[in-house]
Structures are given as C-alpha cells and as structure tokens.
C-alpha cells in the first residue's frame, strides 16, 4: 500500500467465485475504514502481491456498499490505472451513504469491460465522517 494514512485502513482480498460456466471469475473485495479524526482516506495502490490475480483479466462491474458507520452522502471513489485514468470514469462519484450500488467500467463514455494490464489504485474522497467504513467489490473474468 502506498500513501495510506496510518489511521485509515485498506484491506484487499481476492477470491475465485464458484460458478458452473466456462469463465474464471475473480472477486476483488476492498474493505475500507476512514480516519477517526476527520474521516480522511488517501490513495492506496492495489497490493503487488494481489495484482497477479487480476492482471490480464477484464473488470466487468463494481458493487459499492457503505458500512454501518456510513460515509458522507455523495462520497467519491476513484479506481485508476497506472496512467492515472479512471477505470469507471466518473461513475463512482456521488456514492450513496445508505444503499448498495453497482456500475460497469466506462471507456470513452461507453460502458465496457476494462482490461487490467498494470497497477491500479483506489482512492476515496468527499467523506467527513470519522471512522466511516464500506466495501468496494470488483468482478473480473478472462
């Protein structure tokens, strides 16, 4: 993890989703906890140890779920590639503080799967709730 505030927590896990189809589906679950003094959360790289689980796979959608200590309404998540380009465009802006939401990646204003070929980064902004929590689940397949 890079640039992570010592009071904020970022937990990254990958699992293969059981299914009966021909595709290898991987779920990346990012559990986040904001700072207890002001609610800040800074940028964090996807851990290098987990990147092989998603490199060469395409991300098809993401589900965001605010936690029991909900973040500020209309908080923003950015998932960017190594070039600083947002994988989801602005579609992860203005997340609900109470509802689970889902969205597909955006390439040039078109919803489309996004191939992971390099380091990705997670960032959360617009929160002022101390110790706010949530989960961001991304789904990849070959």
pLDDT (tens digit per residue) in 47-74: 888 899 899 999 999 999 999 999 999 9
Q: Are 126 and 118 in contact (CB under 8 A)?
A: no
The three-point CA angle 51-54-55 to 5° equals 75
Distance from C-alpha of 94 to C-alpha of 99, rounded to nearest angstrom: 12
Q: CATH classification of 9-141 is 2.60.40, yes or no?
A: no
Answer whether residue 8 shows pLDDT above 80: no
Stated pTM of the model:
0.88
pLDDT value of residue 40: 84
Bridge partners of residue 86, in order along the sequence: 80
* Percent of the chain topping pLDDT 70: 92
> Per this entry, what is the length of the chain?
142
Residue 104: CA atoms inside 13 Å, Cβ hemisphere, count? 11
């Amino acid at each position: 993890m890079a640039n992570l505030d010592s009071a904020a927590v970022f937990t990254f896990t990958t699992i293969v989703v059981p299914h009966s189809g021909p595709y290898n589906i991987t779920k990346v679950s990012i559990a986040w906890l904001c700072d207890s003094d002001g609610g800040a959360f800074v940028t964090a790289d996807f851990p290098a140890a987990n990147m092989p689980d998603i490199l060469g796979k395409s991300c098809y959608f993401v589900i965001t779920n605010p936690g029991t200590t909900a973040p500020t309404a209309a908080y923003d998540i950015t998932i960017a590639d190594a070039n600083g380009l947002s994988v989801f465009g602005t579609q992860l802006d203005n997340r609900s503080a109470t509802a689970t939401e889902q969205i597909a990646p955006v390439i040039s204003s078109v919803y489309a799967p996004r191939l992971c070929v390099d380091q990705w980064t997670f960032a959360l902004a617009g929160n002022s709730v101390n110790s706010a929590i949530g989960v961001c689940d991304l789904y990849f397949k070959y």
